[in-house]
Chains A and B, each alone.
Chain A
């Protein structure tokens, strides 16, 4: 499903060069629930951004769903993300002017092929039910708690039926009880929807749900 070969990435921050990834090799199979742990600044976000086609490595090869994404242009990458990848962000990144339903519906607008209205509505409502927000359908993000917002983000990530969901520190802005609930929800959806999940965290208490656990240390991945 995902194959990373000798991925290297260096950032220039002002006058300093930061070697975020120093030759990452990774294989993720379909349906796995992968967790990447590591302290802040260890390169977790960079790794997820590269897998998610948001960033390009300086060298190395990235193959996602049998497609070598390092060869794709900006528009092709956008298409790839819209159709095959779902994102869950640390700070939720919901659109404040849209309600729960509309936020979940948003990625469908970016897909190459539009879903028929009935099917779309059924899919959104099913996800809303699965993430337990049936009573908050018309609520705007500022009317929701942190946990509820992240549930919306999870539903939004799954609405397009992606092959992979990438979650960059999805529990960082949540209290520990909510964090456990969110990760267990992700795990349940991973099992039910057979979607590959890769999430990063520095909270070791949520790593127990992972089928595969990797540690990112000094730009290198350790299983």
Chain B
């Protein structure tokens, strides 16, 4: 074992010396690796920021840290309210299991509603989502929620809180009576009257206020018990559960429970298709740039390897003549590649850490970019999983680019090489 270690050390020593042959060209390839590494780390961190910021935004504004829903497929999406209750509800057994594990949760009824305009006697706009919640309890948890007008009125059962953006759209004010058409448990679509007691919006993430014709968050909050009563549901029936657990301890267990009970598990940002699309777009752009830079890396490394092969052909022939086997020559080339990549990637991580240190206060991005990050500051952080994937992708690209030159080294015939050198 000690002798093998020694042989590896000697091969590594030779590999390091070989790397030093073309300092300028190697520095250039090293720079491409540093660039590729940083692109991976930056785009990975941006996507992570986007995902985390949105998750935090939704968890603190109107969803839980994790969510379970009895709706199936895309019906978890709040931007496309579903107008019918699900076939089954959250099983009561699940409440017991969550309580046994000490997981904090709130029961909810989520349903699409159609707004009736009394003035012109017609339905208008797109459906809104009415969310039956324990208003007082949830308002304590939803730390990013604020009243822009009015408040909760526990005395008024039919009192509702409406999202500011929705209120602007329909010109609703506190005290106004509104009529929403909802489908009850028997499948009857009926008009129900509610009174607006408060208008709510998010504290942070102002950049998200929609200016288009469709509100981004078409939400109406109503008392859980009252909505249950209106829809003819059982007392503790719920279509959704918001789970509050910022320690992230129960994530795997919750996923398991969701699977066991045939429910859908989703994070806040997945509850809004449009947001999920933004995050996926960041991933897509990142992957596109990363693939491009990897192609540049493969081409430049391939050229460097081919050049190295032709330049060192006589040396390799000499090594074969002195008794080297193909395996050793291949391992020599691969070791050069690995040492070079590890050093260059290390520099890449170091540079990234310096950049993240320089921007430690966070980057504030406005406009469309702000939307991508839930209006919050972007903190460039080293995401270990991204760093691992980046390293793996870069090292695979480097090895991939050296397959053909390495293959050529195994075909070297010392006699031919020496004869060529004489010519």
Please give the residue numbers on chain A whose beta carbons come within 8 Å of chain B beta carbons, in ascending order.
45, 49, 52, 54-55, 74-75, 78-83, 85, 87, 89, 91, 93, 95-98, 102, 105-107, 109-111, 114, 117, 156, 160
Q: Are A109's CB and B328's CB within 8 A? A: yes
**Which of B18, B325, B328, B415 makes the CB contact (< 8 A) with A54?**
B415
Please give the residue numbers on chain B whose beta carbons come within 8 Å of chain A beta carbons, in ascending order.
3, 6-7, 10-11, 13-14, 17-18, 20-21, 314-315, 317-326, 328, 414-415, 418, 421
Q: Are A54's CB and B322's CB within 8 A? A: no
**Could you say which of A91, A97, A114, A160 has the most chain B C-beta atoms within 10 Å of its C-beta?**
A97
Cα distance A213–B315 in the bound complex, in angstroms: 31
Cα distance A96–B10 in the bound complex, in angstroms: 16
> What's the least CB distance linking B376 to chain A, in Å?
52
Q: Are A52's CB and B321's CB within 8 A? A: yes
Q: Are A97's CB and B20's CB within 8 A? A: yes
Q: Are A81's CB and B415's CB within 8 A? A: no
| Top 7 closest pairs, chain A to chain B, by CB | A82-B323, A110-B323, A97-B17, A114-B3, A93-B318, A81-B323, A107-B322
Which residue from chain A places its CB closest to the CB of B21 in the assembled complex? A97
Cα distance A211–B379 in the bound complex, in angstroms: 80
- In the assembled complex, which residues on chain B have CB atoms less than 8 Å from the CB atom of A85? 323
> What's the least CB distance linking A90 to chain B, in Å?
8
Which residue from chain B places its CB closest to the CB of A108 in the assembled complex? B10
- In the assembled complex, which residues on chain A have CB atoms less than 8 Å from the CB atom of B326? 74
> What's the least CB distance linking B149 to chain A, in Å?
77
User: Would A98 and B17 be within 8 Å (CB), given that A109-B7, A110-B328, A117-B6 are in contact?
Assistant: yes
Which residue from chain B places its CB closest to the CB of A107 in the assembled complex? B322
Which residue from chain A places its CB closest to the CB of B332 in the assembled complex? A109
Can you add 15 more A-B contacts, CB < 8 Å, to A78-B323, A93-B317, A106-B319? A49-B415, A54-B415, A81-B323, A85-B323, A93-B318, A93-B418, A95-B14, A95-B315, A97-B21, A98-B14, A102-B13, A102-B14, A109-B7, A109-B324, A156-B322
Which residue from chain A places its CB closest to the CB of B6 in the assembled complex? A114
- In the assembled complex, which residues on chain B have CB atoms less than 8 Å from the CB atom of A109? 7, 10-11, 14, 324, 328
> What's the least CB distance linking B358 to chain A, in Å?
38
- In the assembled complex, which residues on chain A have CB atoms less than 8 Å from the CB atom of B317? 93
Cα distance A73–B53 in the bound complex, in angstroms: 63
User: Would A81 and B322 be within 8 Å (CB), given that A55-B415, A95-B315, A109-B10 are in contact?
Assistant: yes
- In the assembled complex, which residues on chain A have CB atoms less than 8 Å from the CB atom of B20? 97
- In the assembled complex, which residues on chain B have CB atoms less than 8 Å from the CB atom of A111? 323
Q: Report 21 cross-chain contacts, Cβ distance below 8 Å, ordered by A residue.
A: A74-B326, A78-B324, A81-B323, A82-B324, A85-B323, A89-B318, A91-B421, A93-B315, A93-B418, A95-B14, A97-B17, A97-B20, A98-B17, A102-B14, A106-B14, A106-B319, A107-B322, A109-B11, A109-B324, A110-B324, A110-B325
Cα distance A93–B321 in the bound complex, in angstroms: 10
Q: Are B314's CB and A93's CB within 8 A? A: yes
Which residue from chain B places its CB closest to the CB of A80 in the assembled complex? B323
**Could you say which of B20, B320, B322, B326 has the most chain A C-beta atoms within 10 Å of its C-beta?**
B322
Which residue from chain B places its CB closest to the CB of A93 in the assembled complex? B318
A-B contact count (CB 8 A): 74
- In the assembled complex, which residues on chain A have CB atoms less than 8 Å from the CB atom of B18? 97
Cα distance A79–B327 in the bound complex, in angstroms: 13
**Which of A49, A106, A117 makes the CB contact (< 8 A) with B322?**
A106
Which residue from chain A places its CB closest to the CB of B17 in the assembled complex? A97
- In the assembled complex, which residues on chain B have CB atoms less than 8 Å from the CB atom of A107? 322-323
Cα distance A96–B22 in the bound complex, in angstroms: 13
> What's the least CB distance linking B269 to chain A, in Å?
53
- In the assembled complex, which residues on chain A have CB atoms less than 8 Å from the CB atom of B13? 102
**Which of A87, A117, A160 makes the CB contact (< 8 A) with B321?**
A87
Cα distance A220–B325 in the bound complex, in angstroms: 33
Cα distance A81–B325 in the bound complex, in angstroms: 10
> What's the least CB distance linking B412 to chain A, in Å?
11
- In the assembled complex, which residues on chain B have CB atoms less than 8 Å from the CB atom of A81? 321-323
- In the assembled complex, which residues on chain A have CB atoms less than 8 Å from the CB atom of B10? 105, 109
Which residue from chain A places its CB closest to the CB of B322 in the assembled complex? A107
**Which of A96, A102, A110 makes the CB contact (< 8 A) with B319?**
A110
Which residue from chain B places its CB closest to the CB of A113 in the assembled complex? B3
Q: Are B325's CB and A75's CB within 8 A? A: yes
Q: Are A78's CB and B3's CB within 8 A? A: no
Cα distance A79–B323 in the bound complex, in angstroms: 6
Cα distance A32–B70 in the bound complex, in angstroms: 93
Cα distance A167–B164 in the bound complex, in angstroms: 92
> What's the least CB distance linking B2 to chain A, in Å?
9
- In the assembled complex, which residues on chain A have CB atoms less than 8 Å from the CB atom of B415? 49, 54-55
> What's the least CB distance linking A116 to chain B, in Å?
8
Which residue from chain A places its CB closest to the CB of B316 in the assembled complex? A95
Cα distance A111–B315 in the bound complex, in angstroms: 18
Q: Are A78's CB and B318's CB within 8 A? A: no
- In the assembled complex, which residues on chain A have CB atoms less than 8 Å from the CB atom of B319? 106, 110
> What's the least CB distance linking A12 to chain B, in Å?
12
> What's the least CB distance linking B313 to chain A, in Å?
12
- In the assembled complex, which residues on chain B have CB atoms less than 8 Å from the CB atom of A105? 10
Which residue from chain B places its CB closest to the CB of A50 in the assembled complex? B415
Cα distance A51–B320 in the bound complex, in angstroms: 15
> What's the least CB distance linking A102 to chain B, in Å?
8
- In the assembled complex, which residues on chain A have CB atoms less than 8 Å from the CB atom of B21? 97
Q: Are B14's CB and A110's CB within 8 A? A: no
Cα distance A82–B321 in the bound complex, in angstroms: 8
Q: Are A83's CB and B323's CB within 8 A? A: yes
> What's the least CB distance linking B311 to chain A, in Å?
10
